[in-house]
Amino acid sequence: MNLKIESHLSPAKINLFLHVLRRRADGYHELQTLFQLLDYGDELTFETDSNGTLELHQESADKIRTLPYSQNLIIKAARLLRQESGDPKLGVKIYLNKRIPAGAGLGGGSSNAATTLKTLNKLWDCDLPMEELKTLALKLGADVPFFLEGKSAWGEGLGEKLQPVELEKNWFAVITPNCSVSTSHIFSNENLTRNTQAIKMADFLAGGAKNDCEPVTRALYPEVDEAFCWLEGHADTRMTGTGSSVFAKFQKREQAEGVLEMLPNHMRGFVAEGINSLSV
């Protein structure tokens, strides 16, 4: 196999709303959500080899918490795809420029896993069809199929039942306090609302949607509550997913940047444009 090198954006996402409909018998939750892709994220560079080596090199200008190597979804995705291919000699060196904070509800790990599956499927000449890749993706996490398809989407089930949508162009100010939120901690909390009625897109557009995980998260994590209250003083604010990040929507980039310029020093944030699909 000839040496191949490719670099790709591994985008962040926000959940424009998140409803918890019910808890299933297996302990997981039926959800409704609207995934919005952002033109901001990590950068992954892949350099293939034929020695069976799987290496991950990570760098970051920010102090971002990292998982142990064995738990990293990038390595898990590469191993899963190689196992599916049946060729133990497939190898790759992966260089990750990390910008998406962990535990922030921005999908960084899931996005990295999806980018790895999609890119190595091509570079390793596995040529698995999308439906097979989505089956592998779901083994890595409920959000991974969304990033694999690379389109803003209405999500149901565990978040894996996806319907691509065309959303109006907006800019988002995204703020992440200095804490990491545990998804399992939120979904196991006895105070989490688990009986929200299902809605349709028209209901969302009419303002009939929220994040059911927000009250519990704000109560358990004072840093999230502080960030939410600060941003709410400047614009209508939502929390994304079950993470620590909060966001506000603006029609113009300058408006979002103006808010971010006032951000307290102990908080971090970025401005990104919402996109409907990821250009390949």
Positions marked active-site: 13, 143
**Cα(255)–Cα(31) distance, integer angstroms:** 32
For residue 52, list its beta bridge partners. none
**Cα(146)–Cα(139) distance, integer angstroms:** 13
Say if residues 175 and 245 touch (Cβ distance below 8 Å): yes
**Cα(69)–Cα(73) distance, integer angstroms:** 9
The full length of the chain comes to 280
Q: Is 104 exposed, middle or buried (0-12, 13-18, 19+ CB in 10 A)?
A: buried
